[in-house]
Each structure stands twice: as structure tokens, then as C-alpha cells.
């Protein structure tokens, strides 16, 4: 797995989790790793380098072990939830991009280059709004519009920072869904995390929708 895509000194990777779910937020993360990460020989970094991958390729146990390591070794990281009401309003693609945008503009230091998992540009017209529906500040817009970015298909299995972002997005979202499960155990979100399993669909038919369901998604209507 590669440490960097560009030659810029501060590069961040970004990814999301939960696009295909019927319930819960789509969660995005942005991560800046130290430039010398592959030269570091501490036990935690060695474990990170030997284990990190696309979060979907890792067991839950490995993701949970990696999360605090990533948080410790990262130069900066931010995680953002975009919730179902907004997903229904602007669609899941724009919500995913918006989550990544919101994470990126909060990073400190500000990245000089951005690598994005997937095949879509980071910049989306509908994504240029914050949680209250207002435009980003001028400074935040400068980050989004002036910093170069590249989208990389399967980037979470190719670049360390994107893979780290995928693990944070997945673990933070799973944590959120586990908490919701305690309030709505009939949907078994602790196990399915909001994805459209047969039992989740059956529970929707039996108990109806909650405020945490995405009303515009097939399976919720």
C-alpha cells in the first residue's frame, strides 16, 4: 500500500461508510498521516502498516484495534455524520461528498492535496453547504476549491490515508448504530448496522419507519 499519491508535504485521504444503508447516517472521515509513517518502527505503526486495508476487508476486531492507533499516529483526523433527513434532501452521493468536504475543512493542518476514494470528484454543487444549510465560510470554500484533489477507484486498498479514513468512518458509524440499537432493538441495528438485510426489511414492514430511516431509499417506501 502506498504512503502518498502526490509530492505535496501535507496530503489527506478521505472516505465514507454507510452509503447503501436504509437507516442511520452516512459517515465520512479525512486523515492526514505523518510524512515519515513508513519509516517509523514503533510497534503500533508496524501493526498499522501490516494490517491496514479497506475497512470492508478487515474483521470488526481488527478495525476496533486499528481505530485508536490511527487516532494516535495521525497528524490530523476528522469524522463527520450526515443524517437521514439531509440524505433524503440532497441524495446519498451528494451527502457522501458533503461529509468528506466537511471533514476536510476542519483538518489542522490544512491539507495541500486531497485523495478521495471512488470515481467521483470531491467537488459537488449541492455539497457546498454546511449542516444548517448555509454556505461554507469563504475560508472553507478556499480549501475545497483551491486544493487539488484526485479520486482513486479502490483507493482504500491502495493508499494508507484513504484506508485509515475508511476504518475511522466505518468504526464511528458502527458505534453510532450500536447506540441506536439500544433505543430501537426491533431493527437489530447492532448486527445489520442499518443495511437492507431481510430481517431489517421485515422489521420495517412490521414496525414501520423511524426518524433514522432514509425515506427516499427503496425498502423504506
Q: Give pLDDT tens digits for 173-203.
A: 999 999 999 999 999 999 999 999 999 999 9
Count of structural domains, the chain: 1
CATH number of the CATH domain containing 160: 3.30.420.10
Task: Report yes or no on 159 lying in a domain.
Answer: yes
Task: Report yes or no on 3 lying in a domain.
Answer: no
pLDDT reported for residue 65: 98
- Edge to edge, the sheet with strand 26-32 lists 76-82, 26-32, 11-17, 113-117, 149-152
Those residues of the chain that have pLDDT short of 70 are 125-134
pLDDT reported for residue 125: 63
Task: Report yes or no on 91 lying in a domain.
Answer: yes
* Parent domain of 119: 11-207
Cβ–Cβ < 8 Å for 212, 24: yes
Q: Which residue has the cell 439500544?
A: 182
Task: Report yes or no on 22 lying in a domain.
Answer: yes
Task: Report yes or no on 219 lying in a domain.
Answer: no
Cβ–Cβ < 8 Å for 55, 167: yes
Q: Give pLDDT tens digits for 136-164.
A: 788 888 888 899 999 999 999 999 999 99
pLDDT reported for residue 221: 79
Question: Of the candidates 92, 24, 83, 84, which has an alpha carbon nearest to the alpha carbon of residue 215?
Answer: 84
Task: Report yes or no on 83 lying in a domain.
Answer: yes
pLDDT reported for residue 44: 95
Task: Report yes or no on 212 lying in a domain.
Answer: no
CA–CA distance, 153 with 194 (Å, rounded to integer): 25
Amino acid at each position: 500500500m502506498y504512503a502518498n499519491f502526490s509530492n505535496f508535504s501535507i496530503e489527506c485521504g478521505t472516505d465514507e461508510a454507510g452509503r447503501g444503508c436504509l437507516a442511520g447516517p452516512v459517515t465520512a472521515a479525512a486523515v492526514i498521516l505523518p510524512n515519515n509513517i513508513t519509516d517509523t518502527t514503533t510497534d503500533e505503526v508496524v501493526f498499522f502498516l501490516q494490517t491496514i486495508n479497506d475497512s470492508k476487508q478487515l474483521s470488526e476486531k481488527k478495525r476496533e484495534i486499528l481505530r485508536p492507533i490511527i487516532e494516535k499516529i495521525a497528524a490530523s483526523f476528522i469524522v463527520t455524520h450526515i443524517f437521514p433527513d439531509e440524505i433524503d434532501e440532497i441524495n446519498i452521493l451528494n451527502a457522501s461528498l458533503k461529509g468528506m468536504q466537511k471533514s476536510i475543512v476542519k483538518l489542522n493542518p490544512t491539507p495541500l492535496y486531497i485523495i478521495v476514494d471512488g470515481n467521483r470528484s470531491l467537488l459537488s454543487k449541492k455539497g457546498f453547504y454546511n449542516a444548517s444549510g448555509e454556505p461554507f465560510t469563504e475560508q472553507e470554500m478556499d480549501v475545497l476549491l483551491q486544493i487539488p484533489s484526485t479520486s482513486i477507484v479502490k483507493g482504500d486498498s491502495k493508499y494508507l490515508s484513504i484506508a485509515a479514513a475508511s476504518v475511522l468512518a466505518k468504526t464511528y458509524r458502527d458505534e453510532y448504530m450500536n447506540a441506536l440499537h439500544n433505543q430501537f432493538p426491533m431493527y437489530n441495528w447492532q448486527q445489520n448496522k442499518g443495511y437492507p438485510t431481510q430481517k431489517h426489511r421485515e422489521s420495517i414492514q412490521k414496525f414501520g419507519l423511524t426518524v433514522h430511516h432514509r425515506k427516499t431509499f427503496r425498502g423504506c417506501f
